[in-house]
Structure 1
Amino acid sequence: MKHLILMRHGKSSWDYDVSDKDRPLKERGINDTHLVAKKFGTAPRTIDHAYSSPANRALHTSMIFLRNQGFSLEQFKVNEALYDFSGHSVEQFVNRLDNTLGTVAIFGHNYAFTSLANAWGDKYIENVPTAGLVHIAFRENNWAQISRGTTEQIIFPKHLKH
């Protein structure tokens, strides 16, 4: 059985004249990521490995989330394939994951994550919002063979604010 955690980067700031990859998180993006991480932290699931897009906003999101989980950064890598908006590159990346990994978290972007959450999960999601997390479980034991899984958990910041 394989578990995939897709987390879209937190809300980013357009206040700076920087490239898309260099855009930072807004304060709201930081706060929302903490909220989602704390909620996920109550789940009985250990992440074996985590990967992030090299974009500043995704990398910052991953660091906040993983620190909240007490995750060892020895099992963390940045991968260019996750700087993808269509989902094709992310799908190929996931299909090539090492089969010794049972639970993997990836941090990246839309439209890719909404598209893959709907292709792989069993619950329709209109849009994975910034700092949104979707956890999908697959019956397969080989990443290259995953197809349709079960959407185990959906954590969106708006559901955590009162």
Structure 2
Amino acid sequence: MKTLYLMRHAKSSWSFDDLSDHDRPLNERGRDDAPRMGKALADRSIQLDLLVSSSAVRALSTAALVAKELGYPNERIEVQERIYRAEPNDLLDIVRKLPDTAGSALLVGHNNTITDFANLLSPNQIDEMPTAAVVCLQLNIDSWQDTDRATTEFYFYDYPGNHQ
């Protein structure tokens, strides 16, 4: 059994015209929502074996804030540049290459891809994941290589609005 958490990065700022899209930081709401969702995950007694994030500043900042709430060391966050411009099948490829020693993994990425990827795997349809939303999927597999919709069960869906 494997557990996969999919998270859309928290709300980012559009206040810096001179920054590239990749370098946009979180705005105030994002800096509040990311740890809020990390705490919500911690309240569920979630312990991650692996945290993988897009290289974009807003995603990596989200991952770091969530990691702090979960007691997951920042230096163990795996950054994958490929997530930044990924398509759903790219995320599937990334998940299928996760080390089998990890029983649980959190992937922090971007919309629309993260919602589309959740829908690719989940038997439950999700219209659109808002910023900082998390989907948890349980996979009835021993190896990440076997990740497939047929092996996946929807476990929970949570977002900051549930914790205001």
SS at 2:71 equivalent: coil
2:119 equivalent in structure 1: 118
Please report how far the alpha carbon of residue 154 of structure 1 lies from its aligned counterpart in structure 2 after TM superposition: 1.0
2:85 equivalent in structure 1: 84
How has the CA–CA distance of structure 1 residues 91 and 84 changed in structure 2, closer, same or farther, with 3 Å as cutoff? farther
SS at 1:127 equivalent: coil
5+ residue gaps, structure 1, are: none
1:104 equivalent in structure 2: 105
Paired residues, number: 161
- The correspondence for 2:159, drawn from 145, 156, 159, is 156
More moved, 122-131 vs 66-75: 66-75
Q: CA RMSD, aligned part only?
A: 1.2
Q: TM-score, normalised to structure 1's length? A: 0.94
More moved, 66-75 vs 49-58: 66-75
The amino acid that maps onto 2:163 is: L
The amino acid that maps onto 1:12 is: S
Rounded to whole Å, the distance in 1 between the matches of 2:86 and 2:92 is 11
1:28 equivalent in structure 2: 29
Please report how far the alpha carbon of residue 74 of structure 1 lies from its aligned counterpart in structure 2 after TM superposition: 4.4
More moved, 143-152 vs 5-14: 143-152
SS at 1:137 equivalent: strand
1:12 equivalent in structure 2: 12
Please report how far the alpha carbon of residue 72 of structure 1 lies from its aligned counterpart in structure 2 after TM superposition: 2.1
5+ residue gaps, structure 2, are: none
1:51 equivalent in structure 2: 52
Of Structure 1 and Structure 2, which has the larger fraction of its residues in helix? 2
Please report how far the alpha carbon of residue 88 of structure 1 lies from its aligned counterpart in structure 2 after TM superposition: 2.4
Please report how far the alpha carbon of residue 77 of structure 1 lies from its aligned counterpart in structure 2 after TM superposition: 1.3
More moved, 73-82 vs 35-44: 73-82
